[in-house]
Structure 1
Amino acid sequence: MPDRRDFIRTAVAAAVVPAAVAIPAAAAPAAPAFAAPAGRGTFRWFGTAGWRIDVGRRTLLVDPYLSRFDTGLFTGAFNPSTALTVKADTIATRIGSPETVLVTHTHWDHFADVPHIATTTGARVVGTLTAYHLGLAGGVPSGKLCPVKGGEVLDFGDYTVEVVASLHSRNAAYSMAFPGVRVSQPAPPQTIADLPEGDTLAYQVRIAGGPSVFFMGGSDFVERNLSGLNPDVAMVALPSSTATGDYVPRLLEALGRPKVVVPVHWDNFETELRNPPQVAPADAARLDALIAAVRKASPRSQVIRPEYETPYTF
């Protein structure tokens, strides 16, 4: 992969998509005061599948997981009984004043911080019925929880959100960690095992006068559900195995070969949120393979490997 200078220099989208600009972190304004360019939107990666999106002075989040505590997942000593931990100070300095939080699914590395964010900022949480019930369990008022199934197009004025019914990644055993749903409000979750997958969604955010951006939280999908989306930018999740057949070619074909592809969910999300992002050796090989597959399946797509909290405009 190119070094940081090459990364910034070559982060330019083709055709109808405006230039993708990487602003050095030292030059970026403090997170809570940040305002995006009019009609463009600014996107900052929080690691895993997490994003902060600023549209003017309005902020929405996707799968914001910032506490990044150790479960042993990356050291070969995974502990399903790991206690849930919320690092309030780490969260507060990064999220600004979000009005909406989009949740793709409810595994801990996507959802663990969401109840805290919603209860401390008043943000609305959009997600599955499981997210709704887990939100209630986490103290989020029902009026701030928006259960969706896929197919909804939600109009927020400066941007719209299209909800897409999707699928979670498959591991090498063709399964996943913590499958299951919550069909009623459970006891407050205490461990990561208390947060099941809970069904999976994807989202397409379309900024008024700006780009349309597709967000995945898991590396699988339903091709028919992607027909006609044709996003300008696609945030594509790294697969953890080869269980999903022809993942990249089918995905990019279904999405209409986006102008910009941004790989996500490849970093070691149990380490500090510091650049350059750390990546486990096996994931580094998979990331290289993903990027090669994107370039083969859609050679005209610009591939951007993101860095933490670096603002990008498309």
Structure 2
Amino acid sequence: MFAPSFSNPASLGQPPLRVEADTARIDRLMPPAADVSMLLVGHAHYDHLLDVPHILQTHSPEARVYGSKTMGHILAAVIPRSRIVDAEAAMARGAEPGQWFHSPQRRIRAMAIESEHAPHLFGIKLLTGRYDQDLTELPRSTFGWREGQTLAWLVDLLDEQGQPVYRIHYQDAASSPPLGLPPQLPDSKRVDVAVLCVGAWNQAAAYPRVLLQRLQPRLAVLGHWEDFFGNDPHQPQGLRLQNIRAMVALTREHLPADGQLKLPVPFAFLPLPPPAR
């Protein structure tokens, strides 16, 4: 599971100054996830991490959570350290592969990739910074949920021999290359599904063109496009000041000849391409 977000706090439809997880809303909207063993986090802003503590405690009690050092310092306020994995220390950097983390049954593996969070608007990035020690309580202000090191993720589904049969590249923040690009791996396995970030896409250089040229995905899924400031996810509105149509057109332009494009609404179920022969 990638870090889900349901609370969507807001102040009169605008970004909030104080945030708190809406546990009743999470419980109402969260699909069954008791069998999840790995929860992967891209960065520690509140709109990605705020709901994770309750989900770990209530909905995925067997899962370990993987992410940056800052993510770990925040979650340590309420989650046992034994369930928190520092993936930043083992992330891929440039052409150098990182460490694979395996699920308990060793049918899934995930590698963190050094990435970045694009500026929010006009070249300005908000909610920056990191933590260097464990917190004693969860942040209450929006600015307390510091970004930390942003990660992209490469996720493989494995066969019984431990060989990759399906590969997913995931980003929850747009990045300028080479940040976010996966390392070259000896198996030459193609990416089946790429999850891209619409939010602030035009604040990152050459995004998503260079990434798509590297990945050559069979399916590109555009996420993080909907306004999350208090809106109803069942009636989603697009992020303000974002040219979503231009992102769709640019993605379609740079997909391989057999590539598909999907921009799903929240809670949609997408048919994925079958494993390549």
TM-score (norm 2): 0.81
> CA contact under 8 A between 2:45 and 2:146: conserved in structure 1?
yes
Residue 208 of structure 2 aligns to a residue in which SS? Answer: helix
Which of 157, 180, 184 aligns to 2:129? It is 180
Note closer, same or farther for the CA distance 1:280–1:244 as it changes in structure 2 (3 Å cut): closer
1:131 matched to 2:71:
yes
How far does residue 85 in structure 1 lie from its aligned partner after superposition? 2.8
Partner residue of 2:102? 155
Which of 130, 137, 151 aligns to 1:201? It is 151
- Determine the C-alpha separation between the residues in 1 that align with 2:76 and 2:65: 11
- Determine the C-alpha separation between the residues in 2 that align with 1:222 and 1:250: 7
- Determine the C-alpha separation between the residues in 1 that align with 2:27 and 2:40: 16
| Bigger relative contact order, structure 1 or 2 (CA pairs below 8 A, ≥6 apart) | 1
Unaligned runs of 5+ in 1: 1-60
Note closer, same or farther for the CA distance 1:280–1:217 as it changes in structure 2 (3 Å cut): closer
Equivalent positions of 1:280-295 (< 5 A) are: 280=239, 282-283=241-242, 286-295=243-252
Letter in 2 for 1:185: D
- Determine the C-alpha separation between the residues in 2 that align with 1:242 and 1:307: 21
- Determine the C-alpha separation between the residues in 2 that align with 1:172 and 1:280: 12
1:191 matched to 2:141:
yes
- Alignment length, in residue pairs? 245
Equivalent positions of 1:178-257 (< 5 A) are: 178-188=127-137, 189-209=139-159, 210-223=165-178, 225-228=181-184, 230-240=190-200, 242-255=202-215, 257=216
Partner residue of 1:52? none
Deviations 1:157-184 (A, max 9, x none): 1211121111112233323111000110
Partner residue of 1:19? none
Residue 289 of structure 1 aligns to a residue in which SS? Answer: helix
> CA contact under 8 A between 1:178 and 1:193: conserved in structure 2?
yes
How far does residue 289 in structure 1 lie from its aligned partner after superposition? 0.5
- Determine the C-alpha separation between the residues in 1 that align with 2:254 and 2:167: 21
- Determine the C-alpha separation between the residues in 2 that align with 1:160 and 1:281: 35
> CA contact under 8 A between 2:43 and 2:147: conserved in structure 1?
yes
Unaligned runs of 5+ in 2: 92-97, 160-164, 273-277
- Report the identity percentage: 22
> CA contact under 8 A between 2:76 and 2:136: conserved in structure 1?
no
Residue 134 of structure 1 aligns to a residue in which SS? Answer: helix
Note closer, same or farther for the CA distance 1:181–1:163 as it changes in structure 2 (3 Å cut): same
Deviations 1:7-35 (A, max 9, x none): xxxxxxxxxxxxxxxxxxxxxxxxxxxxx
Q: Which runs of 4+ in 1 moved over 4 A?
A: none
- Determine the C-alpha separation between the residues in 1 that align with 2:240 and 2:203: 19
> CA contact under 8 A between 1:249 and 1:294: conserved in structure 2?
yes
